[in-house]
Amino acid sequence: MTPVNRRIVLAARPHGEPNASHFRLEEGRMPVPKAGEVLLANRYLSLDPYMRGRMSAAKSYAEPVAIGDTMVGATVSEVVASNHPDHPVGETVVGFGGWQDFAVSDGRGLRRLDPAAAPVTTALGVLGMPGMTAYTGLLNIGRPQAGETVVVAAATGPVGSLVGQIARRKGAREVGIAGGPEKCAYLTDTLGFDAAVDHRAEDFPDALAAACPGGIDVYFENVGGAVFDAVLPLLNDFARIPVCGLVSGYNATELPPGPDRMPLLMRSILSKRLHLQGFIVWDFAAQEQDFLTEVGTWLREGAIVHREDIVDGLENAPEAFAGLLKGRNFGKLIVRIA
């Protein structure tokens, strides 16, 4: 009997928040690898905010997922059949198998993993795309210096948590923004941030100002919206702002209500000589090995801390993803497929 391949496809494009109606679980035959291909059994699936953009037909840096196609996503997988000389059966790899049980690959984009060197799930988080996003965005655009104040939004997530820890290694003072007392306590008590501020608190702007008495030199943007509104007046001259994500607006169906903030932003950019730069992690693809070597060493030495939030069952991926966009996860969100 041919094994069944379950996959979750995009059933409809969301207008606003995604829900169960925008996904569909399908079952079909397990794919068969051709010459030069491997069959991957996907074990773990990464859920990341960028996937919301791929559900939209709007023009962006990557092609949207077509209606009826398997949702995209990074996976840790086992090679279970191989017609490829470089990838034997039994090898563990990280690649982009998507939201499904099995996938076929021609080997491009696969990276071998050594389960003895680090837990394989780290290839989806601290030693994967999120970790590299933190590393390259902070060091290339933020360029933190000793004694400066670095503020990062969504600071308990896989990107933000590493941003703060790298900033500390550079001698900077790190302030994390997170949602709720539990996450804020984790920032200071476990990750060693100098200060943590709850963006859900009524006095958030005042609390952020109190945590940054000397202003902000680097702001790592993951959220946008009201968080950026509180950050903007605190930015010092020549502050650097790596813009990694704007998750607060990913489900928006219209522009935010007035007043028009653009004149204030542009005046601040001019008068404070701000450096504000958006980036996609693969803009710095040439630095991948440097990232893996340096952060991998820190991880093995216990010099950095990471946290994972694992959900069991491929069928639960849509609900977990919707929660991710609302900040319900605590750490790197991963689906254990099987």
pLDDT for res 2: 62
Per-residue DSSP letter, 87:
S
The two structure tokens encoding residue 237: 């001259």
pLDDT for res 201: 97
2-6, 92-96, 162-166, 219-223: segment of lowest average pLDDT: 2-6
Q: What angle do CA 57, 159, 273 make, to 5 degrees?
A: 85
Residue 1 scores a pLDDT above 60:
no
**pLDDT tier, 255 (very low <50, low <70, confident <90, very high otherwise):** confident
Residue 256 scores a pLDDT above 90:
no
The two structure tokens encoding residue 160: 């933000």
- Identify whether residues 135 and 23 lie together within a single domain: no
| Burial status of residue 62 (CB atoms within 10 A of its CB: 0-12, 13-18, 19 or more) | exposed
- Identify whether residues 243 and 207 lie together within a single domain: yes
- Identify whether residues 43 and 138 lie together within a single domain: no
- Identify whether residues 157 and 273 lie together within a single domain: yes
Which CATH number goes with the domain that contains 10? 3.90.180.10
pTM above 0.75, yes or no: yes
| Burial status of residue 263 (CB atoms within 10 A of its CB: 0-12, 13-18, 19 or more) | exposed
The two structure tokens encoding residue 77: 């997988």
Give the number of domains in the chain: 2
Other CB atoms within a 10 A radius of the CB of residue 165 amount to 21
- Identify whether residues 23 and 47 lie together within a single domain: yes
302 inside domain: no
| Burial status of residue 63 (CB atoms within 10 A of its CB: 0-12, 13-18, 19 or more) | exposed
207 inside domain: yes
Q: What percent of the chain has pLDDT over 70?
A: 99
- Identify whether residues 33 and 121 lie together within a single domain: yes
Cis peptide before 259 (omega within 30 of 0): yes
Q: For the residues 215-232, what does the mean pLDDT come to?
A: 97
232 inside domain: yes
222 inside domain: yes
**pLDDT tier, 300 (very low <50, low <70, confident <90, very high otherwise):** very high
The two structure tokens encoding residue 196: 């943590």
Which CATH number goes with the domain that contains 142? 3.40.50.720
- Identify whether residues 118 and 180 lie together within a single domain: no
86 inside domain: yes
Q: Residue 91's domain spans which residues?
A: 4-125+307-336
- Identify whether residues 201 and 75 lie together within a single domain: no
pLDDT for res 59: 87
Q: For the residues 181-202, what does the mean pLDDT come to?
A: 97
Residue 273 scores a pLDDT above 90:
yes
| pLDDT tens digits along 16-61 | 999 999 999 999 999 999 999 999 999 999 999 999 999 999 888 8
Mean pLDDT of the chain: 96
- Identify whether residues 91 and 199 lie together within a single domain: no
- Identify whether residues 116 and 144 lie together within a single domain: no
What dihedral angle (degrees, nearest 10) is formed by the CA atoms of 145, 151, 157, 163? 0
- Identify whether residues 119 and 133 lie together within a single domain: no
- Identify whether residues 99 and 230 lie together within a single domain: no
Q: For the residues 126-143, what does the mean pLDDT come to?
A: 98
Give residues with Cβ within 8 angstroms of 160, minimum separation 6.
134, 152, 153, 154, 176, 178, 220, 222
